[in-house]
């Protein structure tokens, strides 16, 4: 494993232009369940019911049953060593951006500045009637909660059946198709259009380094079978040695 960390460190520090694409696996060590791993959210909640915009329009209590608790305890969730390592890489000028499918806000909490949240974030919630903004964890009680104007509240996240935010998706495609190295961390690479981004990077001859506890992306150049909270700090340690 050491040699893989060293090779990853050489690529990231040597080639510049590194972009990270992250999924729920990077937040697993912060106590946030993933979606498809054993004991994942989709085992307990059918996404076609609890994460669909069509259902939200008829019965918003479903999505709020899924996400209300996280939003009301938003400040109790903290970045782990994997998030921290990516923030350090950005500060060192070795990581250009983080494209994330996660809506937990932990990359920004870790200090990353250039974060592209392609599925939105649970940090902000809006009234669908008067557009008033609410910032987690300060939202009215109730499942669903209502605004003082009587409108129902919806978190600023992308539900199934909704378009991804145009600006975020275009930036993510730009970053993917112009990076030299892509760190693919903790994603099952099944959800589109996020799962198309590593292919964009490959088309640009980028080197893909996958970090996951199980192999998910078949076209990775390097596969590091390890928890993100162990692998990323190790890679950072090798980079610091290289730059000494």
Q: How many residues does the chain have?
A: 244
Give the separation between CA 123 and CA 70, rounded to whole angstroms: 10
Closest CA to 238 of 213, 209, 202: 209
| Cα–Cα separations (whole angstroms), residue 65 to 56, 61, 62, 216 | 11, 6, 5, 29
CB–CB of 86/20 below 8 Å?
yes
Residue nearest to ligand APR (CB): 25
Cβ at position 187, least distance to ligand APR in Å: 4
Q: How is residue 32 written in tokens?
A: 């946030």
Cβ proximity to ligand APR, 69 vs 138, nearer residue: 69
Cβ at position 42, least distance to ligand APR in Å: 7
| Cα–Cα separations (whole angstroms), residue 190 to 10, 120, 131, 133, 243 | 29, 18, 33, 32, 36
Cβ at position 203, least distance to ligand APR in Å: 21
Cβ proximity to ligand APR, 127 vs 228, nearer residue: 228
Give the separation between CA 119 and CA 23, rounded to whole angstroms: 11
Residues that bind ligand APR (CB under 6 A): 23-25, 28-29, 34-37, 40, 101, 119, 186-188, 191, 211-214, 216, 227-228
Cβ proximity to ligand APR, 201 vs 211, nearer residue: 211
Cβ at position 160, least distance to ligand APR in Å: 8
Cβ proximity to ligand APR, 157 vs 181, nearer residue: 157
Active site residue 83: no
Annotated catalytic sites, by residue? 119
């Amino acid at each position: 494993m050491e040699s893989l960390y060293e090779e990853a460190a050489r690529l990231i520090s040597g080639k510049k232009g590194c972009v990270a694409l992250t999924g729920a696996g990077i937040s697993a060590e912060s106590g946030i369940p993933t979606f498809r791993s054993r004991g994942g959210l989709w085992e307990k909640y059918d996404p076609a019911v609890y994460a669909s915009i069509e259902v939200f329009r008829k019965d918003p209590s479903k999505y709020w049953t899924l996400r209300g608790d996280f939003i009301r305890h938003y400040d109790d969730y903290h970045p782990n060593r994997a998030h921290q390592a990516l923030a350090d890489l950005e500060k060192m000028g070795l990581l250009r951006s983080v494209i994330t499918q996660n809506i937990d806000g932990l990359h920004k909490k870790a200090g990353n500045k250039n974060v592209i949240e392609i599925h939105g974030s649970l940090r902000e919630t809006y009234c669908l009637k008067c557009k008033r903004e609410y910032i987690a964890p300060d939202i009215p009680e109730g499942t669903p909660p209502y605004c003082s104007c009587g409108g129902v509240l919806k978190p600023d996240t992308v539900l199934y059946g909704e378009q991804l935010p145009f600006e975020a998706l275009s930036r993510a495609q730009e970053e993917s198709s112009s990076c030299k190295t892509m760190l693919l961390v903790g994603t099952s690479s099944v959800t589109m259009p996020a799962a198309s981004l590593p292919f964009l990077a490959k088309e640009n001859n980028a080197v893909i380094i996958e970090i996951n506890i199980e192999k998910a992306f078949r076209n990775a150049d390097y596969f590091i079978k390890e928890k993100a909270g162990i692998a990323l700090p190790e890679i950072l340690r090798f980079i610091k040695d290289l730059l000494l």
